[in-house]
Amino acid sequence: MSVEIRPFGREYADGVVALAQAEGWPTFSDAERVTRLLTAPGVVGLVAVQNDKVVGAAQLLTDGHQAYLAILVVAAEARGQGIGKRLIEAGFQASKAVRMDLLSTPESEEFYRRFTHREITGLRLFQGAPREAGDSEPGLR
């Protein structure tokens, strides 16, 4: 089955919401927010479409030289078909970036290590007071 990588458009928002819900990502929980986040200035939003169904999505923040891969998601049943790789390649092309930074879960590191890369330490900061030792991790995505 052929997969097309397309620029994000409002018509794909519900499909991206479904992917995010399957992953447990509350930030991408409604179509209006998804549309706003994937069409904001400086954002490249991409979707992978197979048989008129969204099976993957990517959001890159870019200034035209560097990019930050904010999300990359591929439907569980579509993994292993090269969709994630194609979304990243299309992201490089659409953003014109020469490098792409990202944060990764341990489960996805093997995938990202297949690309030419350099590993650096990263943190995700949340709004609010600094944490004290022993505080539980925020459950936000």
Residue 117 is assigned to a structural domain of this protein: no
The pTM for the full model equals 0.86
Query: Within 13 Å and on the Cβ side, how many CA atoms surround 87?
Result: 29
Residue 128 is assigned to a structural domain of this protein: no
Residue 141: which pLDDT band, with cuts at 50, 70 and 90?
very low
pLDDT at 138: 54
Q: Quick one: which of 57, 67, 136 has its CA closest to 100?
A: 67
Q: What is the CATH number of the domain that holds 60?
A: 3.40.630.30
Residue 126 is assigned to a structural domain of this protein: no
Contact present, 15 and 28 (Cβ < 8 Å): no
| Beta-carbon count within 10 A of 140 CB | 10
In the predicted model, is pLDDT for residue 135 greater than 80? Answer: no
Residue 134: which pLDDT band, with cuts at 50, 70 and 90?
low
Residue 99 is assigned to a structural domain of this protein: yes
List the beta bridge partners of residue 102.
69
pLDDT tens digit string along 64-119?
999 999 999 999 999 999 999 999 999 999 999 999 999 988 999 999 999 999 98
Residue 37 is assigned to a structural domain of this protein: yes
Among 31-35, 55-59, 104-108, the least confident range: 104-108
In the predicted model, is pLDDT for residue 59 greater than 80? Answer: yes
Residue 73 is assigned to a structural domain of this protein: yes
pLDDT tens digit string along 36-54?
999 999 999 999 999 999 9
Residue 19 is assigned to a structural domain of this protein: yes
Give me the number of domains the chain comprises. 1
Residue 62 is assigned to a structural domain of this protein: yes
Q: Quick one: which of 83, 63, 71 has its CA closest to 34?
A: 71
Q: Quick one: which of 60, 62, 47, 61 has its CA closest to 17?
A: 47
Kind and range of the H or E element at 3?
strand 3-7
Range of the domain at 82: 3-112
| Beta-carbon count within 10 A of 12 CB | 23
Contact present, 48 and 54 (Cβ < 8 Å): yes
